[in-house]
Structure 1
Amino acid sequence: MTVVVINRDEAPVAAPKSTPVAAEVTLESSLWKSQKVVKGKTQSEKTPLELGTRFTASRNGEVAGVRFYKPASERGTHRGSLWDSDKKLLAHVTFTGETRSGWQEALFSSPVPIVAGRVYTVSYHTGNGGYVAQRGAFAKPVSVGPLTAEEGVFSATEKAAFPSRRHRARINYYVDVIFRHRERRSLPDPTNGPEGGSAPSPSVVPTVSTGPETSLTPTPTAPGQPSGGVEVTPTPTESTAPSPTPTRTTTHTPTPKPPTETPTAKPSPTTPKPSLTLDPTRQPTVAPTSQPTAPGGSWPNGSNTGVPSGVKLTQSKSITVTKDGTVIDGMEVQGEINVDADNVTIRNTRLAAAPGDWGIIQRQGRSGLTVENSEVFGNGKQRTQFGILNQGGDLTVRRVDIHTISNGILTEQGLIEDSYIHDPVYYSGDHTDMIMCTSGPPSGAKLVIRGNTVINTLDQTGAIALFQDFGVVRNVTVEANFLAGGGYALYGGAGAKGTSSNIKVVNNVFSRKVWAKGGQNGPVAYWDKGGSGNEWKGNVWDDGKAVPEGG
């Protein structure tokens, strides 16, 4: 790992200007939100049906699975399918673990590649012929992100078969697709350190392991043709699970609708926090975007973190681990990974985190979790509170790409290195931090945050935040990271509970590329200059000028 140390008494040397670059991130799209409830009376044709949706995608990608909305009266087994324009079956899956009603979802054994612009059909088979529907929904195509739904289709068939017919009322049968694609975005490039020196390279080379309510409005139909059932108006009923985020005194003024939120994991802290007022009219010096990529593998970015190319992933829903020493390798998980065991390893895994409190959690009393060469992300529509939440002991996070969440990692101890943690999504009431510690590590333990790219594209709270919510912060090293954004890029550990100690902030690069001051208000806040063992050394701006102690 190459680091650049600059004596604060020496004249700084300007570095070459970096230029915007592009990087990729995994995004997931569907046509209808899974949190929307389709209310209304249901219709049953009392004959087996295949119900589907014709769609196209504006970019190449993969279909990971199929969703459909199930009325409460519907029973029996359902099979989901994907078809091409030649009526060829590309994939099928039998739904398991269905709820009594609402959106049901099933993932294919392997994602199916599809080509931009081509017409595909996603469908499900019902033996009872029960469904809900919306008349006139496809009077014109429905577009959401890269997806465009053209029409609802059906067939009367005893077994799963291509749905080739359409209703003249342009009905939506609420069949949906789970589409994933890699999207490139333009970002600031944090490639160069002072004097053009290289930023830290990953310390370990990745190793791929195998291993409402409505009334019926029937219309005349042909035999076996769905009547259109009920006209329905989806009604959002989104809720947010209790958040374990400690309450702080930050004031927010963005406009998103506030979900209900009650901190439960820990008592509300009494330590005062800086009161920040967000200014929605103020913009960063560059537009906040995703994934800053550095050519040449310098700083961690979208090309040298996450799942290595060539790794074949196996589809899975949420995973709970209860056996010590378990290894999760080469998985594509939709939901969460709940670790209630010691010395668990998660590698080469992509986690599309479900809305809720976390993507990955290590439970209290457990220790030794390692997450490496993996990607954790939310859907950007409903809050995922934490990418990784550590309630237990030692944690190692290495070469992990975490994005599109409220908070990246919360841990009091362990090692976070060579990772790319960036692009949070704001929801009303949030305090957004990419890496957060809320007290010092337990006696004999430490927290090392080293060689990461940490970018908070919002104006609160921090990129790295060491808070005294539950105790005095001690024994933390923040070394050789690229830091940008938030209210302050770094909260340094000071607070009302006592003087922090043994906090070492060395050889970091603070960037002005999101906010002109590093963070909206400055590079650093809450730094104890006189704390025993506290060290501030070699910290510079991305133009090579020194960042004074405590900012």
Structure 2
Amino acid sequence: MSDSRHADRRRARRRRPSPDSRATGSRRFPVTGWVTLVAAAAVLGATVTVVIVNRPPAAAPPVANAAPVSAEVTLETSLWKSRKVAKATAQVEHTPLELGTRFKAARDGEVAGMRFYKPAAERGTHRGSLWDSEKKLLAKVTFTGESGSGWQQAMFDKPVPIVAGRVYTVSYHTKNGGYVASPGVFDDPVRSGPLTGQAGVFAPAAKSSFPSRVHSKRVSYWVDVIFRHRERRHFPRPTGRPTGDPTAVPTTGDPSVTPTPEGSATPTGGVTVSPTATGTGSPSPSSPVTSTPESSPTRSHNSDPSESPSASGTPKPSASPTPKASGSGTPRPSLSANPTNQPTKVPSATPKPTQTPTPPPTGGFPGAGDTGVPAGVSLKESKSITITKDGTVIDGLEISGEINVQADDVTIRNTRLAAAPGEWGIIQRSGHSGLTVEDTEIFGNGKQRTQFGIINQGGDLTVRRVDIHTISNGILTEQGLIEDSYIHDPKYYSGDHTDMIMCTSGPPSGATLVIRGNTVINTLEQTGAVALFQDFGVVRNVTVEGNFLAGGGYTVYGGAGAKGTSSNIKVVGNVFSKDVWAKGGYNGPVAYWDKNGAGNEWKNNVWEDGKTVPEGG
């Protein structure tokens, strides 16, 4: 899963016919000749992502005219965007069907999985398949944990290598015969990065079978492929990192003073290992405290960070994934930003003088090659762990489940955590402080939601050289230090709001939150890479410095909100990338930036080409 990465920054969007070029009103697109159509919705657009991997150790952001540095990257591409909805038709034939998309790739690579768009009326089990041009079945998968409607995704047990230029078909089988269709989508080939979608295909079939028939109206049945390939890219070489405010560095959690028991290569006293991973995000029954957070940090927030928290804590989707009825049946891309997601305009403050950064040694941003468990480290298998002894060190484990920290000054290092579906991978409980997580990888299974990689309910937290991916949200903390880490590839599940690093209120008095030298990439069009929200209080004393940032609805949410004016928020010396979206984030690089907040600074933030990212975007 750690190889799951992003797509081409120069993504080629397919040409779309204008809405006026398509007939309106009720349409009939029978795949076999007996179907009745009902207005509904389908998804249009191209999904593209890019992830930086195998790069030199983390250092500083680039400046204009800096010499480039090359890096081998893994790119992941699909034909269509995950959540933007346009008009189409939902249909039920009440007969078994195989529905798919015929495609080819311009590069050698591998198919990791597939997706299909599900109408609200569709029922039953769905099985996905990948076929070559000779009708040979290359891979199959059963979809699990499906939502009521919208995009459904499943990953093959092993990625399947495919050859550039050869034709393949990805398809799914429905016993009920319910699906979403749009005419004219394949009037021209659909292109996204190296992928070309050639045609929608179908077959009446009692069980999974190769679909070869093409409707005369060039219908798309909204079946998508998840394709990966390797490519060498050139990036500006960082030549300096602003020093920022020296008072913004946390005063606790320094690993040099963290108590480390002797002979602590494996968990020792105070650690409870459950006999099995429960998969629920809850500690084992032997845990001396309840697994329920004292104050729930898992509340999904609206894109408006000023919204008060939901009393129930239930995630609220920003846009319904359920297709909406329309009388026109005219497919039309929905590319404009949701008006409710627009930032509140704040009057500009007098610009602060630019401070020349102090140049450190040159280098790159962190990626898969210099985060996570170092090469050569042997790992011992373990299940979920609950830690109750201060100063415990977890070192060299391969854990399936969770790590529940109910002690102070705990260190987790050289550990690979396959987080069970549920709330978190690692949690530091309320009333405890000093957790350090370093040289560790945390990830979900990609099929069932893991809500957070790391949740901090307590005091100081240090995260260093950690690789977090394939989860809904990366790290939630109000204080501490996150540095030299690689946080990327979130997975969307119905109702999610996805943030790679999130703070939902200001740190306690005297504490700070520093986010520096990280690669942070949100490959979705919501919510953010770094998100400072006023869900539970006014945000203050946060430094976001020297990071590589990309993606999300907005790449950075700057801490403004209805609860008060944020203060001492410093966003300095970061590189904003257009690798995921042309504007940095889907809607832009930053929202909710308080220009008038005391001590707030926005300076030396640049795009990859060295051009300035202006204050407030």
Q: TM-score w.r.t. structure 2 length? A: 0.49
1:474-526 Cα distance to aligned partner (Å, 9 max, x none)? 00000000000000100000000000000011000000111000000000000
The 1:2–1:369 alpha-carbon spacing in structure 2 relative to 1, beyond 3 Å, is closer
Distance 1:370 1:470 in 2: 25
Distance 1:304 1:488 in 2: 27
Q: Aligned pair 1:21/2:72, yes or no?
A: yes
The 1:265–1:410 alpha-carbon spacing in structure 2 relative to 1, beyond 3 Å, is farther
Percent of pairs identical after alignment? 67
Q: Is the 8 A contact 2:568 2:599 kept in 1?
A: yes
Q: Secondary structure at the match of 2:402?
A: strand
Report the CA distance between 1:192 and its aligned residue. Answer: 2.5
Q: Secondary structure at the match of 1:348?
A: strand
What is the aligned counterpart of 2:475 among 409, 419, 441? 409
1:134-177 Cα distance to aligned partner (Å, 9 max, x none)? xxxxxxxxx942299xxxxxxxxxxxxxxxxxxxxxxxxxxxxx
Could you tell me which residue of structure 2 aligns to residue 146 of structure 1?
158
One-letter identity of the residue aligned with 1:495: G
What is the aligned counterpart of 1:472 among 535, 538, 550? 538
Report the CA distance between 1:247 and its aligned residue. Answer: 4.0
* RCO higher in structure (CA 8 A, sep ≥6): 2
Distance 2:538 2:562 in 1: 9
Report the CA distance between 1:249 and its aligned residue. Answer: 2.8
Could you tell me which residue of structure 2 aligns to residue 511 of structure 1?
577
Q: Is the 8 A contact 1:188 1:513 kept in 2?
A: no
Q: Is the 8 A contact 2:460 2:479 kept in 1?
A: yes
The 1:346–1:191 alpha-carbon spacing in structure 2 relative to 1, beyond 3 Å, is farther
Q: Is the 8 A contact 2:61 2:547 kept in 1?
A: no
Could you tell me which residue of structure 2 aligns to residue 299 of structure 1?
365
Distance 1:395 1:315 in 2: 25
Q: Aligned pair 1:3/2:69, yes or no?
A: no
One-letter identity of the residue aligned with 2:302: T
Give the 5 Å matches for 1:138-537.
144-146=156-158, 186=230, 191-193=235-237, 197=239, 244-250=297-303, 298-537=364-603
Q: Is the 8 A contact 2:281 2:420 kept in 1?
A: no
Q: Secondary structure at the match of 1:357?
A: strand
Report the CA distance between 1:22 and its aligned residue. Answer: 3.0
Q: Is the 8 A contact 1:423 1:455 kept in 2?
A: yes
1:313-341 Cα distance to aligned partner (Å, 9 max, x none)? 01000000011110000000000000011
The 1:328–1:466 alpha-carbon spacing in structure 2 relative to 1, beyond 3 Å, is same
Report the CA distance between 1:550 and its aligned residue. Answer: 1.1
Q: Secondary structure at the match of 1:490?
A: strand
1:351-410 Cα distance to aligned partner (Å, 9 max, x none)? 000000000000011100000000000000000000000011100000000000000000
Q: TM-score w.r.t. structure 1 length? A: 0.55
The 1:210–1:384 alpha-carbon spacing in structure 2 relative to 1, beyond 3 Å, is same
One-letter identity of the residue aligned with 1:408: G
Distance 1:539 1:516 in 2: 17
Aligned length: 337
The 1:398–1:4 alpha-carbon spacing in structure 2 relative to 1, beyond 3 Å, is closer
Q: Is the 8 A contact 1:240 1:383 kept in 2?
A: no
1:175-203 Cα distance to aligned partner (Å, 9 max, x none)? xxxxxxxx98647858524xx64789xx9
CA RMSD between the two structures: 4.0
One-letter identity of the residue aligned with 2:554: Y
One-letter identity of the residue aligned with 2:73: A
Distance 1:441 1:353 in 2: 27
Distance 1:14 1:204 in 2: 37
The 1:239–1:3 alpha-carbon spacing in structure 2 relative to 1, beyond 3 Å, is closer
Larger radius of gyration: 1
The 1:471–1:147 alpha-carbon spacing in structure 2 relative to 1, beyond 3 Å, is closer
Q: Is the 8 A contact 1:192 1:199 kept in 2?
A: no
